[in-house]
Chain A
Amino acid sequence: MSLVNFTKTELKNLFSKPATEKYPDGPATYKEGTRGHIVNNMDACVLCGVCQMRCPTRAITVDRKGQTWSIRPFSCIQCRRCVDNCPKKSLSMAKEYTEPDVEKSQMDFELSDRQKEVLAEQARQAAERAKAAMLATKQKTVQAKEDKPGEKPGADPDPGKADK
């Protein structure tokens, strides 16, 4: 009896379209949101290194000196942790799986020229700010030193100055 049942299923399968995809002859289809591989937008990355710190398999290397961002795709477990933690939202997850390879390669990406300029400009501004801050501290110390003799017993103290 049940063999007849299964014959029905088999006949149906014979005349319906295949349940599988002919990958790699045809393109593979992915769901929306499939965790395929990591892509970094080198126009937005600031090489802060958060992704490197957060990656559980240490697949990412950030080289601030050489201005490169590298990933070892065969160490990456597509967990999305780096994407969730990137402060500049420069990382994203593409749907397609990593291409097969014959060796465990590393992929290096250099910052785009524009981003290099942006970072250089930011660095310059930061340096200026640091310099200004240093000058301000220096001035404060000098002033404090000048104020000190005033605190000596006998001298006329200026109570307002200490607060400045």
Chain B
Amino acid sequence: MAGKRSVIPFGPQHPVLPEPIHIDLITEDEKVVEAVPSIGFVHRGLEQLVTKKDFGEMVYVAERICGICSFGHGYGYVNAIEHIMDIHPTDRARFIRTMLFELSRMHSHILWLGLMADAFGFESLFMETWKYREKILDMLEAATGGRVIFSIIRIGGLRKDVPDEVMQGFLPELDKVVEGIKSCEKVFLSDPAVLSRLKGIGYLSKEDAIALGCEGPFLRASGVDTDNRMRGYAAYSSVDFDIITSDEGDSYARCYVRIQEIYQSASIIRQCIEKMPKEGIYVPIKGFPNGEYMTVIEQPRGGACYYVHSSGRKFIERMRVRTPTFANIPALTKTLQGCDVADVPILVVTIDPCISCTER
């Protein structure tokens, strides 16, 4: 006999959520039978601003789509414009961009580990992981002058060079971070109490992950090996890395994939610093963009699409961003079906939700 159904509202304000998303959990006893998400609490209309800011100023707006993957958003927009205007940034600019991109990925994944630890109630682990994230933020600050918004990228290259000594200084720091994350990894991946909260929770099959259009580590944790970095934008074609996947498809697998990606990012950064070319960082641009382009890049949370349409004027006509969290919400509702109410916060965190970029 089916139990009595009741609806539990989850969010938009909830201790586990840094940003507002609302989910109506339809429950039967302690089990969730259906989850109905609603978004739209933090829409800021940033895409509309392309008609008000000229195409060069728009880089600053694009960066502000999100505070965690700010570099990626700036890069996605700049990449689209550079394709329209047929600009080829110098090799040094490409390598520095890749390095900053990977530093952003590292700090985003470490942030996620901390939020995850917080979600299953391990406060000291949360602080320990964020201690290492701080080191990455320090590196970003030393390289760009900003901790959250970097304002270093511009159409045609970079606005500021990162001196070689500064980059060499990153190498020992990276070792420390990797060592620190290794010590935390033991807890995340083999602590019995943590495992009881992660193993087998929120299973998503490979077929469902593909059918529901998941992105990023969430997709790779279900055994699908796609990674947009393999397309070779920026300097990704010049560095060695693999796609990290796991076949388990549960919360544990998502944790595993993200931790491995932190090590992988550290390795990409090392390769970038080793191979860093010497020449300039900027190629001058002429005229205004005329045409349209759609680019897909791999943000820490998954593939993000940037579409730009412009008709040879100072102001772009249309810009559209599709962010990975938006693509992952349908799969989230799928994983929520059949879970315990107590596991909902963890499952919401496993997609690494970034609501402000979803709604822009």
CB distance from B49 to the nearest CB of A (A): 10
Asked, given contacts A3-B191, A34-B141, A56-B53, whether A79 binds B186 with beta carbons under 8 Å apart, the answer is no
Closest to A10 in B: B124
Asked, given contacts A5-B187, A31-B141, whether A84 binds B159 with beta carbons under 8 Å apart, the answer is yes
A80 touches which of B125, B159, B187 (Cβ 8 Å):
B159
Task: Determine whether B93 belongs to the interface, using a CB cutoff of 8 Å to chain A.
Answer: no
Closest to B183 in A: A9
A78 touches which of B128, B151, B159, B191 (Cβ 8 Å):
B151
Interface residues of chain A: helix, strand, loop or mixed (majority) = loop
Task: Determine whether B134 belongs to the interface, using a CB cutoff of 8 Å to chain A.
Answer: yes
Structural contact, B142 and A33, CB atoms closer than 8 A: yes
CB distance from A35 to the nearest CB of B (A): 4
Assembly CA distance A56 to B57 (angstroms): 6
Task: Determine whether B131 belongs to the interface, using a CB cutoff of 8 Å to chain A.
Answer: yes
B-chain residues with CB within 8 Å of residue A93 when the two chains form the complex:
145
Interface residues of chain B: helix, strand, loop or mixed (majority) = helix
A-chain residues with CB within 8 Å of residue B193 when the two chains form the complex:
3
A-chain residues with CB within 8 Å of residue B57 when the two chains form the complex:
56
A19 touches which of B53, B134, B151, B159 (Cβ 8 Å):
B134
CB pairs A–B below 8 angstroms (8 shown): A2-B187, A6-B186, A19-B131, A31-B145, A34-B145, A35-B145, A79-B60, A79-B151
Assembly CA distance A10 to B193 (angstroms): 17
Task: Please report the total number of B residues contacting A with Cβ < 8 Å.
Answer: 24
Assembly CA distance A33 to B138 (angstroms): 12
Task: Determine whether A77 belongs to the interface, using a CB cutoff of 8 Å to chain B.
Answer: yes
Closest to A19 in B: B131
Structural contact, B146 and A35, CB atoms closer than 8 A: yes
Assembly CA distance A19 to B186 (angstroms): 22
Structural contact, A31 and B138, CB atoms closer than 8 A: yes
CB distance from A110 to the nearest CB of B (A): 29
Assembly CA distance A126 to B337 (angstroms): 77
Binary CB contact string for chain B from 50 to 69 against chain A (1 if under 8 A, 0 otherwise): 00010001001000000000
Task: Determine whether A158 belongs to the interface, using a CB cutoff of 8 Å to chain B.
Answer: no
A-chain residues with CB within 8 Å of residue B17 when the two chains form the complex:
none
A-chain residues with CB within 8 Å of residue B183 when the two chains form the complex:
5, 9
